[in-house]
Amino acid sequence: MNIKRNYQYLLSDLSTLKGVGTKTQNLLKKKNINNLFDLLWKLPKSYTDRSLSSKIKDLKIGEIQTVAIVPQKYNFPRIRNLPNRVVCKDETGEIDCVFFNSYEGYIKKILPLGKEITVSGKINYFRKKYQLTNPKYVSENSSIIQQVHNKYSLTEGISEKLYNKIINQIINNLPTLDEWHSKNILSNFGNINWNNSVKELHKPENIGKYRDNFYQRLAYDEIFATFLVNSEIRKKIKKVKKKNKIINFDSQKSIINKLEFSLTKDQTKTLIEINKDLASNQKMFRLLQGDVGSGKTIVSLISALNTINSGFQVAVMAPTEILARQHYNLAKKIYPKNIKIEIISSKSDYKNKKEILNKLKNNTINIIFGTHAVFQKKVIFGKLGLIIIDEQHKFGVNQRKKLSDKGGEDCDVLLMTATPIPRTLTMTIYGDMDISVIREKPRRRKPIKTYSKLENKIDEVLKFISKEIKIGNQVFWVCPLIDESKKLDHSSAIKKFEYLNKIFPDKVSLLHGKTDILEKEQILNDFLNRKFQILVSTTIIEVGIDFPNANVIIIENANKFGLSQLHQLRGRVGRGDKDSTCILMLKSNLSENAKKRINILKETNDGFLISEEDMKIRGFGDVLGFKQSGIKNFKLADPIHNSDLFLLAEKEMRRIEKSNEDIGKFKPLIKLYDRADIINDIA
């Protein structure tokens, strides 16, 4: 098969392109363009119309014009730094082509005397004469220049002319690929094929036509490729046969009865889903997604006990040591006395750690809590049956797969996140996993009252805080930056601490990203034990920690945060049975988007609704920093504007899975769009 008729051509190295040397390749790679296929998704932003040729007498100064001229005379001055000049004419007048820093030989080559040459560029007027300076578009073949030329967002060092030449070279050699979609799917896009869709995508007249068939078809390809990869990962995981866990419902019931509250319907439903996975002979690979304070931890600990009762060990990983210790303390409180519970901590001495590692290896510890250290190579488990990872929404697909493999065949995996994610994002970010959702909040949890205050009303806020402290409550005060910044008009956590400490002496402490880890743990523990009343902090308090006595949070420059992040921060309060308050401090000159975000937060405590609105306002790439998370980065598809395509892809994927259809025909699609090593053995 001719390589140009095969999808492999599109995965060819940039060096296969004519006119692309090492320097250009390196410049393109800086833009994450590593092969021909990558180049196709750098879309034109606008275009320059060079198709119409004008006579010299009709040229318009300051505009890009195309003109056929005949070079008459060279003027190459001997004085350095003076420009080289070529006098040219047509039947209506004269024009000078002026060159700075160009050699005589090059000028004579592109503008030979007496030959008609087509040139294009911006027209100037100097000393009563038309002038073209450093024309880049020069050719004896007028058809090469008399076209509409696309403008791209270029890397420095690559000219528009070269970029168009590269793109046109690929488009002219596009392979005609066998169709991978069914007729039913193609009918949604006017039956346009992949090859023609790409060609249409790069036509200047189609810039911005996101709802046209060609664009929609290519966006769908991108989405569906992700669904295919996720489906294959799910299949691979489900193929692993494990020893099923035996669920001891009497033991489970005794734990639930010990609790000071009843489980919500969502918690009960989720526990049933997890137990079903544990009891099956297929490996569990599940995400437990729940809003802030919805009670995910208790569900995971009951699941862990069911695993322990089946003779297996459990490892629980949290992002911070204080959160790991919080989970550890809860397990100690609710588990039967015969369950061996340990925690790996940065405070543990070498002898203690060594002893714990030996016990893990010998299967004399039932459940271990810790940070990422729990999964280091030196940590060997005797009989690991369940991995629970809290707040790991930044785990990418490959990291999750490695995690699943680490536990061995009999090990189930449960990830938890308090970051509500819009449905279209969940489909792609966590499409390789089964998903359980807890939306319902425990009845004892009261909604957090949210107010906005202009920062010049800080005296009113201080009076409110003073009253809260007097009745024994605690306060979070969140600032965006650690130090003063000249570039950003944000409050400084350090400066705010100094300010508040004067008003409330000996009642304030400070926490930020530069705080030493041991000092950080001490500060949080002291706050938990009510040794001070106000904690001034940056956003590092965002994740999952329970401080039942903290019922007020002040967030400065709240307009600088995204909606989802504000909701996560707000979730640090309202953990006890007291009325809780969130105060958003603002400047007076807010943008319309900032006003929208603040109003949404004041109107609802529903994290799922908030995340949907956040994505609409800010775009999916910015929701809670997912750009840095290794999630699928779409080139064309958008979870907001293409939600219909996500639903169509989901429906088609379910049909294929249900009918057990061979996905061999989708190999080019998967290889082109995902190049996922995980399914290289696809037929």
Instruction: Please write the tens of the pLDDT for every residue from 531-561.
Output: 999 999 887 775 656 788 889 999 998 888 8
615 SS3 class: helix
Assess whether pLDDT exceeds 60 at residue 99: yes
Asked if residue 476 and residue 416 are part of one domain, the reply reads no
Name the residue among 342, 337, 374, 367 with its Cα closest to residue 355: 342
Assess whether pLDDT exceeds 80 at residue 572: yes
Asked if residue 427 and residue 293 are part of one domain, the reply reads yes
Assess whether pLDDT exceeds 90 at residue 680: no
Confidence grade of residue 120 (pLDDT, cut at 50, 70, 90): very high
Handedness of CA 624, 625, 631, 637 (dihedral sign): positive
Contact 343, 325 (CB under 8 A): yes
Mean pLDDT, residues 49-57 taken together: 92
CATH number of the domain encompassing residue 99? 2.40.50.140
For 366-422, the pLDDT digits (tens) are 999 988 778 777 888 999 999 998 876 555 566 666 666 666 788 999 999 877 777
Asked if residue 417 and residue 378 are part of one domain, the reply reads yes
Mean pLDDT, residues 67-81 taken together: 92
Asked if residue 352 and residue 382 are part of one domain, the reply reads yes
For 132-166, the pLDDT digits (tens) are 999 989 999 988 898 888 888 776 778 888 888 88
* Gap between the Cα atoms of 258 and 263, Å rounded: 11
680 SS3 class: coil
Side-chain half-sphere exposure of 467, counting CA atoms within 13 A = 7
Confidence grade of residue 634 (pLDDT, cut at 50, 70, 90): confident
Asked if residue 384 and residue 355 are part of one domain, the reply reads yes
The residue among 154, 175, 196 that closes a domain is: 175
Assess whether pLDDT exceeds 90 at residue 304: yes
In which domain, by residue range, is 34 found? 1-45+163-175
pLDDT of residue 393: 54
What mean pLDDT is reported for the chain? 85
Mean pLDDT, residues 468-497 taken together: 75
* Gap between the Cα atoms of 605 and 582, Å rounded: 11
- Beta carbons within 8 Å of 31's beta carbon, 6+ residues apart: 42, 155
Assess whether pLDDT exceeds 90 at residue 305: yes
Cut 0.95: pTM above it: no
Assess whether pLDDT exceeds 90 at residue 613: no
Mean pLDDT, residues 310-317 taken together: 92
CATH number of the domain encompassing residue 455? 3.40.50.300
Q: Is residue 414 part of a domain?
A: yes
* Number of continuous H segments (helices) and E segments (strands) in the chain: 23, 22
Asked if residue 340 and residue 300 are part of one domain, the reply reads yes
Mean pLDDT, residues 503-517 taken together: 85
Q: Is residue 67 part of a domain?
A: yes
- Chain position carrying tokens 């189609």: 206
Name the residue among 313, 320, 326 with its Cα closest to residue 346: 320
* Gap between the Cα atoms of 200 and 197, Å rounded: 5
Name the residue among 109, 101, 102, 105 with its Cα closest to residue 140: 109
Name the residue among 435, 437, 439 with its Cα closest to residue 285: 435
pLDDT of residue 3: 41
Assess whether pLDDT exceeds 90 at residue 433: no
Name the residue among 256, 403, 253 with its Cα closest to residue 315: 403
Number of structural domains (the chain) is: 4
Contact 228, 431 (CB under 8 A): no
Asked if residue 596 and residue 482 are part of one domain, the reply reads yes
Q: Is residue 14 part of a domain?
A: yes
Q: Is residue 281 part of a domain?
A: yes
Asked if residue 323 and residue 253 are part of one domain, the reply reads yes
For 347-356, the pLDDT digits (tens) are 677 888 889 9
pLDDT of residue 74: 96
Asked if residue 167 and residue 32 are part of one domain, the reply reads yes
Q: Is residue 667 part of a domain?
A: no
Consecutive H or E run containing 452: strand 449-454
pLDDT of residue 503: 94
Mean pLDDT, residues 222-244 taken together: 87
The residue among 438, 473, 492 that closes a domain is: 438
Asked if residue 547 and residue 420 are part of one domain, the reply reads no
Asked if residue 590 and residue 482 are part of one domain, the reply reads yes
Asked if residue 571 and residue 422 are part of one domain, the reply reads no
- Beta carbons within 8 Å of 677's beta carbon, 6+ residues apart: none
Q: Is residue 351 part of a domain?
A: yes
For 176-232, the pLDDT digits (tens) are 899 999 999 999 999 999 999 999 999 989 988 999 999 999 999 999 998 998 888
Q: Is residue 626 part of a domain?
A: no
Mean pLDDT, residues 633-653 taken together: 88
Contact 48, 64 (CB under 8 A): yes
